[in-house]
Amino acid sequence: MTSFLELSTLDVAYPPRKVIRDLTLRMSRAGIGCLLGPSGCGKTTLLRAIAGFEPLRRGSIHLDGVELSRPGWTLPPEQRRIGLMFQDLALFPHLNVTANIAFGLYDWNVAERRARVDELLKLVGLEEYAGRYPHQLSGGQQQRVALARALAPRPRLLLLDEPFSNLDVALREGLAREVRSILLREGIGGLLVSHDQFEAFAFADEIGVLHQGRLLQWDSAHNLYHRPVDRFVADFIGQGVLLPGRLGSNGRVSTELGELWGTPPVDCTVGEPVEVLIRPDHIVRDDASPLRAEVVERVFRGAEFLYTLQLPSGARLLCLAPSHHDHAPGQHISIRLDIDDLMIFRRGGD
């Protein structure tokens, strides 16, 4: 079955530096995806290559079975049927909402253009704001205008380069969910670039983690959190601690928290130093447990506290606990582990 978006062994370079390295990605039909990673990892460069603004040194890009790029040849951006939505929304300040949305429909006849704009105003909930100008809108409303403008020509794929990053966290995640819903209703694929994992979780079905120009893992949010392929993904996704241990036989690991069991990397040997991934939800407050830890810090999150706990060795863990248990820094609490699938990594390696 042909993938909706297929990137095959891509290299993209700003000589002499190679920014994207041997990257392969396949996104399901009309899927909703996200490229996630720290600043400078190549996310925006990859998005620009998909849009047709960066040439390939190696590999190819296909959308819906149609080749868009290969070394020495690039289909012009305006012929790709790809919409773009950037962090800088670039709304035209001298045009009202209706005219901004209609801007890319210059070759449509008047009746079709009017019908499409009316359809999009209703879709993004801005019917009452059709005659207003960008400076008369809130940040969230401006985002909706930019989205409607990008969707107006009915693209096959919408590329979003951190378009919500200037909004506050609650509005950002809510708008990401709203944009996702609109894309699904329109039957348009979406690919978001972000450094915010919660925004990525709210928006995407498939998420790719990039590091130094390489795609480390393309997977569901659940698998990225619970089954990271290496230490970088484990550390970057979610909150967690890599706790030192030593590998025994049959997947047993001796740690300060006791004996744990998991599936070690295939190249690990018995007796080798390893690290195990401990997430905040793996630590359960339990007065009956003999395992004790000192509360070092706490952050109130309404229904829960996020505690930073210190073990006797000085190693620190994170723990989520119901907020009706209120433990002050300096207090010792009893904890136990609840891990269904222990992730084990070579210490200092992958």
For the stretch 111-159, pLDDT in tens is 999 999 999 999 999 999 999 999 999 988 998 999 999 999 999 999 9
Q: Mean pLDDT across the chain, nearest whole number?
A: 92
Where residue 349 falls among pLDDT bands split at 50, 70, 90? low
Overall average pLDDT of the 48-62 stretch: 96
For the stretch 167-221, pLDDT in tens is 777 788 888 898 999 999 989 999 999 988 988 999 999 999 999 999 999 999 9
Would the pLDDT of 88 be above 60?
A: yes
Would the pLDDT of 2 be above 70?
A: no
Higher pLDDT, 169 or 37: 37
Where residue 350 falls among pLDDT bands split at 50, 70, 90? low
Would the pLDDT of 55 be above 60?
A: yes
Backbone angles phi, psi at 278, to 5 degrees: -115, 115
Would the pLDDT of 267 be above 80?
A: yes
The pLDDT of residue 204 is 95
Burial 126-135 (b: 16+ CB within 10 A, else e): beebeeebbe
Would the pLDDT of 289 be above 80?
A: yes
Q: How far apart (Å, rounded) are the C-alpha atoms in residues 87 and 160? A: 8
75 close to 81: Cβ distance less than 8 angstroms:
no
Angle between helices 139-151 and 169-186 (to 10 degrees): 20
Higher pLDDT, 170 or 94: 94
54 close to 12: Cβ distance less than 8 angstroms:
yes
Indicate the residue type of 82: I
